[in-house]
Amino acid sequence: MSRWVEVAAIENFPPGTVRSVEVDGVQVAVFNVDGTCYAIEDICPHDGGVLTGGAVEGDEVICPRHGARFCIKTGKVLAPPAYEDVAVFPVRIEAGRVQVRDARWDESGF
């Protein structure tokens, strides 16, 4: 089973914040959207560029390289030039800490 990785104390992660962290060898972008944390893989499937640093509009992130859009909540691609979704990761708040894990390889899933 995958392990939970601490990102930051919740008080240091206000709405509108995004951080890129490594979770089990994968770069993950963690967003606080209106007080709820979401995590997606920090790689644009169009050309491998990072998504952090891109503009955030509501619950969408715009790839800073070519403008592809992704839903932060679901990982769904919303606009080309990307045509593949990005992976999503479970997020929890434990003892005041934001935590993320890569559950893709767990037998039980999320």
Question: Which domains, from first to last, does the chain contain?
Answer: 5-100 (2.102.10.10)
Interval 13-26 mean pLDDT: 91
In this prediction, residue 24 carries a pLDDT of 84
- What pLDDT score does 82 carry? 95
Task: Read off the pLDDT of each residue in 86-101 and give the average, rounded to a whole number.
Answer: 96
Percent of the chain with pLDDT over 90: 83
Q: Is 49 exposed, middle or buried (0-12, 13-18, 19+ CB in 10 A)?
A: middle
How far is 45 from 93, CA to CA, in rounded Å?
A: 28
